[in-house]
Amino acid sequence: MIRGVPSKAPTHRRAITGLATVALLKTNYDEGRDHISMFMPFVLDAVASLERDDFDVEDVRNVLFARHRLSVPDATLRTLLQRAVHQGAVKREFRRYFRQPGALHHADITSARARVESEHGRLAGELRTFAEAKGRAIADDEAALALLLGFLADNEIAMLLDEAAPDEGARHEALTARDTRLIARFINDVCLPDRQLGACLGRMLEGLVLQNALLLRDIATAPRRFGDLCVYLDTGFLLRALGFEGEAAQVATREGLDLLLETNARFAVFDKTVDEIKRILALYEHTLGTAQGRESLRPTAVTRHFLTQRYATSDVRQARALVQKQLGQLGIDIRPIPPHDRRYTRDEADLTRRLQAPGFADTDPIEPRVQHDVDCVAAVLTSRGARSPDSLDHARAIFATTSSGVVQTVNEWWRAGGEVGLSPIIHYIVLSNAAWLKKPGAATDLKLRELVALCTAALRPSATAWQRFLRHLRKLEDSGELSTDEAVAVVASGLTDKLLSEVEEDDGLDASTLNEVVERVKATYRADADKRIAQVEAGAASEAERRRQVELKVSAIADFGARWLARLVFVPVFVVIVVGSFTGVPLAFPGLGSLTKVVTWAAALVVSLLTVFLLYHDPVKGWHQSLEMRLRRALRARLLGEGQDHRVLEREAPSGQDGSG
């Protein structure tokens, strides 16, 4: 039995190895393997690499971690080894395992790993080039991938542990705030627009979630739909779902809701949470109307959304009035907080103290947000009753939030009370991961959309930077260098976020760089204004030409109609003349012969035509033209609208005097 296998991967290969493993996991899953068998190629590779034919679970676990950075719980590893026994790759005798000669000659996955690592090498190279342009030198590909892995792992919160993974497996590069923004900008500006890099990143993300399947209490339950789970949603999550934190967050959140529905979860929200949302919107309703009010707002995602989207007080008032209707459209049921039952709740006073801000005095009133969270946790425990679920599948009720701090505090309080089973609170990303593991095909882009929302949030300037920027704007206003309207426009510009974040990354928050931010935003506004003016002028010219063409076409139709209507009016007169000539002339010469009759009829025809011609071109001509003009004016007024016909008639007066045509 081997005892000398190191428990750690070489430090210079940890990130490369770890990311290659999660990408291979995604490949295995896509090939149709289930949540357990997708780990089988790694187990067989580890068994094949052992120095001896006989081994136990601990030997395989150590080699798995050394070769693939996989921390597999013993229970799951025994299940995998039992499957290997059924496949004939190993056999078990006297509580030990033995390799079967010749059964593992295809178990080596070195070539597959090399292909993945080559793809990741390109990603690392792009990151190093991007970072160098930003003034951040990254030593090698391992360091670049370590930063990337740290960013992704920081936001893939571990699931419900059955047994603790080795500390080495949980460690990754600790990112500074500057590095976090660097990676977020790299993902946003370089990876996502590139189809190959974006696909590579997507496989990493989904592989990390698949790797988390190892942390489930019972991995066999991973593909099953939730049996009895009602998710009570927190304020932050609902603000995203309602679109108050921007489009990226809304798209990811709503796709997550769709996935939870596909996996048989139910949604609800406590009435106190709805009241809290309305209180938040009421705050914006009363502060967005004045410059002083806008400056007093904390630079949260909701604040930036309302400002950059030019929300007026009336817009927020309307949004507040529609909250309940929109929640209903999302399929979220609004329920009252159940009656408090001390048989099922825990030490709420202790939880309140833990959730309060540091330095909070016991004599001070409890903050509304803290009271809300305590009430929601107590309501979930009351809904569960005497049950103590150990997994999400039959949890009955759970409170889902986007606040990592609240989740951590409640979980610490839960464990400190000696409780067992599932905590009453869960982070939304954990819930999303659990649902995605059950039905990945129902949300193929969910993890990538969540990453986009995460990068958007990471690229916002910090609260400290915003406060400093606002103070700088006030100084410019006081000195007269900036008008109040200009200051409002700068604060409301979406470009301000991007520029301020870039300046903060470069540690350049001084008066000079802040002035540059203001000037660049103002220049953008001027360019946008010039562009809009040009567009309006071009649109006006195009509209004028279009109207002219329409008027000409309608005028032609009116002229044609007026001409023929005027002619039709005189048709009865012409008919009377012709008929009279043909009946009167022959009667005046009754005794003429047949040849003479022909001549007489011809004379009648000539007389009638001459009469019509003389009438039409002499006394009747003026009447005809006058009638035609009146008909033309009436038709144009009817077709073009009142007031339009006079302009057309004036412009085309010569054409109106062309006679009968």
- Supply the pLDDT for residue 581: 58
Which ranges of 417-445 does DSSP label H, i.e. alpha helix? 428-438
Other C-beta atoms closer than 10 Å to the C-beta of 119 total 16
Whether 357 contacts 369, CB under 8 Å:
no
CA 314, CA 323: separation in Å to the nearest integer? 14
Relative to beta strand 333-335, strand 396-401 is unpaired
CA 631, CA 9: separation in Å to the nearest integer? 96
Which ranges of 493-510 does DSSP label H, i.e. alpha helix? 494-505
Other C-beta atoms closer than 10 Å to the C-beta of 212 total 21
CA 103, CA 119: separation in Å to the nearest integer? 30
Q: Cα–Cα distances in Å, from 527 out to 309, 454, 522?
A: 19, 31, 9
CA triple 193-197-199, angle to 5 deg? 95
**Phi, psi of 616, deg, nearest 5:** -70, -35
- Supply the pLDDT for residue 640: 64
pTM summary value: 0.70
Q: Which helix (H) or strand (E) holds 335?
A: strand 333-335
Q: Which helix (H) or strand (E) holds 476?
A: helix 463-478
Beta bridge partners, 425, equal 399
What are 295-344's pLDDT values in tens digits? Answer: 788 888 898 889 888 888 999 999 999 999 999 999 999 999 999 888 88
Give every CB contact of residue 52 below 8 A, 6+ residues apart in sequence.
1, 2
370: region left, alpha or beta (phi > 0 left; psi from -120 to 50 alpha)? alpha
Give every CB contact of residue 511 below 8 A, 6+ residues apart in sequence.
472
Output the DSSP codes for 276-314.
HHHHHHHHHHHHTTSHHHHHHS---HHHHHHHHTT--HH
Question: Which of 119, 140, 111, 109 lies closest to 38, judged by CA?
Answer: 109
Q: Exposed/middle/buried for 388, CB within 10 Å: 0-12, 13-18, 19+?
A: exposed
The end-to-end CA distance of the chain, in Å, is 114
Residue appearing with tokens 């590069």: 173
Residue appearing with tokens 């009252």: 336
CA 405, CA 369: separation in Å to the nearest integer? 13
Report residue 593 as tokens: 């012969």
- Supply the pLDDT for residue 487: 76
Positions of the chain with pLDDT under 50: 1-11, 158-172, 592-593, 595, 643-661
Compute the half-sphere exposure of residue 559: CA atoms within 13 Å on the CB side of its CA.
18
**Phi, psi of 92, deg, nearest 5:** -120, 130
Whether 324 contacts 270, CB under 8 Å:
no
Collapsing DSSP states into helix, strand and coil, what is residue 193? coil
Angle between helices 271-287 and 301-308 (to 10 degrees): 50
- Supply the pLDDT for residue 206: 83
CA 335, CA 230: separation in Å to the nearest integer? 12
Report residue 309 as tokens: 């989207």
